[in-house]
Amino acid sequence: MAEFANLPPERRRILEQCGTEAPFSSPLLDEHRSGTFVCAACGNPLFGSDTKFESGSGWPSFHDVIEKGAVISRTDTSHGMTRTEVTCAKCGGHLGHVFPDGPKPTGLRYCINGLALEFDPEA
Ligand SMILES: [Zn+2]
């Protein structure tokens, strides 16, 4: 897809080819400023810093999306597991997975590859 053509290979591997980055590799794990996490391919706002939490998983984790419809969830049965894949609603890029073991109030844990995100700090 056109959105992915100008991305560096490591980002294309995640967003276009549904790859997974190594845990604890993302600099966004230590991003604690206020702001918005957007899709690295198309700039679609995905997650707000207020929903980011320390999951200990090694991937940036959020308990909610920035607004309903920002991402699309669908069942993924690859690798012998049934998981829910999360993709960008605008460009279809692969972001990560969502698990039902997150904190309140949603009980969800969006486990997202840092390479699929860019951070826009609040001005
Ligand atoms: Zn996107």
CATH of the domain at 52: 2.170.150.20
pLDDT at position 3, please?
Answer: 82
Model pTM above 0.85:
yes
Is the predicted pLDDT of residue 28 greater than 90, yes or no? yes
Is the predicted pLDDT of residue 36 greater than 80, yes or no? yes
Count CB atoms within 10 A of the CB of residue 11.
21
> How many structural domains does the chain have?
1
Residue 23 Cα to ligand 1 midpoint, Å, equals 22
Q: Does 111 participate in catalysis according to the annotation?
A: yes
Q: How confident is the model at residue 106 (pLDDT cuts 50, 70, 90)?
A: very high
pLDDT at position 123, please?
Answer: 77
Residue 54 Cα to ligand 1 midpoint, Å, equals 24
pLDDT at position 2, please?
Answer: 72
Is the predicted pLDDT of residue 1 greater than 80, yes or no? no
Residue 92 Cα to ligand 1 midpoint, Å, equals 6
Residue 95 Cα to ligand 1 midpoint, Å, equals 9
Q: How confident is the model at residue 65 (pLDDT cuts 50, 70, 90)?
A: very high
DSSP state of 20: -
Phi, psi dihedrals of residue 71, rounded to the nearest 5°: -130, 160
Q: Which domain holds residue 15?
A: 2-121
Is the predicted pLDDT of residue 20 greater than 70, yes or no? yes
DSSP state of 34: S
Question: Tokens 């991937």 label which residue?
Answer: 59
How big is the chain, counted in residues?
123
- How many secondary structure helices (H) and strands (E) does the chain include? 2, 9
Phi, psi dihedrals of residue 11, rounded to the nearest 5°: -75, -40
**Mean pLDDT, to the nearest integer, of 21-33?**
97
